[in-house]
Amino acid sequence: MSETVVLAYSGGLDTSVAVPWLRETQGHEVVTLTVDVGGGVDAAAVQARALAGGARRAIVVDARAAFVTDYIWPALQAGSLYQGQYPLATALARPLIARLLVEAAHEADATLVAHGCTGKGNDQVRFDVAVAALDPALRVIAPMRVGMGMTRDEELAYARERGIDVASGPSSPFSVDVNLWGRSIEAGVLEDPWTVPPAAAYEWTVDPADAPRTTREVVIGFEEGVPVSIDGELLDGVTLVERLNAEAGGYGIGRIDHVEDRLIGIKSREIYEAPGAVVLHAAHAALEGLTLSRELLAYKRSVGDRLATLAYDGLWFSELGVALRAFVTHTQRYVTGEVRMRFMPGTASVAGRRSPHSLYDIGLATYDAGDRFDHASAVGFIALWGLPVRTQAAARGSGVDGTTTLLDELGADRLDAGSLTGAAR
């Protein structure tokens, strides 16, 4: 009896070839699963192509709302940027797709799931490990990794021989992955990290040089760390991110050029377009700066970094990931309020923030009238704060060595009173 495999199916050339390849060379029944995470899925066309390739069933699911709620928002709340730069668009979608693959496999009595990743990237790791975390009994087969290797022309011919209608337009000069949280672009001329990315690499963002010269203010509202409104208008998460992608992208905001470290040990030059993610990360951080204590902010930053690495490394469903996300959720109780962002060509900057839970106290902060801060108490505070340093210096000296003084090294000009000549006066 043949086994059933559920294939993560984008509808592109590789996975369209994988459908008949899995049937013909592996003897599997194939069910395809296409997950819309905001990459633009033509459901009818994708299903027709899958069935033409011999799939027994072609499933399409719009998972955009779940992607925003369960993956994008937690990563935003954590402030997770891989290596401080990459908002993780591709990495965050993988555990969601893996979960749906596992559910579809159970529904179809499948013993296998499949994906179209190559053996060189992060995504194979994410799929394989996420599937293992959700159902360790399922086996994973990745045709591109185990012998399907065909050139593009061979794939086109293979598909045509089987009557599969695949786009035969010019092949993209890049490898691209798209979802709501960003566009990931790699390969081709981008492989030289010194090469300026050509205009053709970008689709969501205009060249900042062509952006409007006028600035635009956008007010983003948050409820417990979740973005809920733009300029006072309440929006669902999908619409909110889409709108920011369009508007910030129109200002050339959100281009990221990153030489990143892949999990498998390769350095890789990657271009990202993530206008909404860049704006929201900046806005969210600004609101946290107003509403969270210094201690919590500092600790939380290390948690966000760790969660970024876990997501990047395919460990979204690990116990550590679950526990750290619970911590982040707890920190967001007071992250409610609004942030004023200013869009300018190529950048979005924070121009103001307010919150009903603000820890900012004007009576303490002001240098003007109304100052309630007890200046005298600073003296006692500093005496104790500096005590260990004072003790150390008294016992061991200042630690600043040098035979000459810095004043002498810098050639300070010393002018004594009464030293000027009459003429100079």
Binding site for ligand ARG (CB under 6 A): 90-91, 122, 175-177, 184-186, 270
> For residue 344, what are the β-bridge partners?
347
**Of 203 and 236, which CB lies nearer to ligand ARG in the complex structure?**
203
Taking the complex as a whole, the smallest distance from the CB of residue 175 to ligand ARG amounts, in Å, to 4
Sheet strands (E) in 312-354: 337-344, 347-354
Taking the complex as a whole, the smallest distance from the CB of residue 135 to ligand ARG amounts, in Å, to 23
Taking the complex as a whole, the smallest distance from the CB of residue 174 to ligand ARG amounts, in Å, to 8
**Of 30 and 178, which CB lies nearer to ligand ARG in the complex structure?**
178
**Of 7 and 185, which CB lies nearer to ligand ARG in the complex structure?**
185
Sign of the C-alpha dihedral computed for residues 296, 299, 302 and 307 taken in this order: negative
Distance CA 55, CA 32 (A): 7
Taking the complex as a whole, the smallest distance from the CB of residue 110 to ligand ARG amounts, in Å, to 25
Distance CA 314, CA 115 (A): 15
User: Helix (H, G, I), strand (E, B), or coil: what is residue 371?
Assistant: coil
The verdict on whether 94 is a catalytic residue reads yes
> For residue 31, what are the β-bridge partners?
6, 57
Distance CA 122, CA 225 (A): 29
Taking the complex as a whole, the smallest distance from the CB of residue 247 to ligand ARG amounts, in Å, to 24
Q: Give the CB-side neighbour count of residue 276, counting CA atoms within 13 A.
A: 25
The verdict on whether 14 is a catalytic residue reads yes
User: Helix (H, G, I), strand (E, B), or coil: what is residue 136?
Assistant: coil
Q: Give the CB-side neighbour count of residue 7, counting CA atoms within 13 A.
A: 35
**Of 230 and 315, which CB lies nearer to ligand ARG in the complex structure?**
315
Taking the complex as a whole, the smallest distance from the CB of residue 312 to ligand ARG amounts, in Å, to 6
**Of 85 and 175, which CB lies nearer to ligand ARG in the complex structure?**
175
Question: Among 9, 269, 242, 213, which residue's Cα sits nearest to residue 114?
Answer: 9
**Of 31 and 274, which CB lies nearer to ligand ARG in the complex structure?**
274
Q: Is-contact 91 126, C-beta < 8 A?
A: yes
| Catalytic-role residue among 70, 175, 229, 305 | 175
The verdict on whether 123 is a catalytic residue reads yes
| Catalytic-role residue among 49, 64, 94, 99 | 94
Distance CA 257, CA 269 (A): 7
Owner of token pair 């969210």: 284
| Catalytic-role residue among 16, 36, 99, 123 | 123
Residues with a catalytic annotation lie at 14, 94, 123, 175
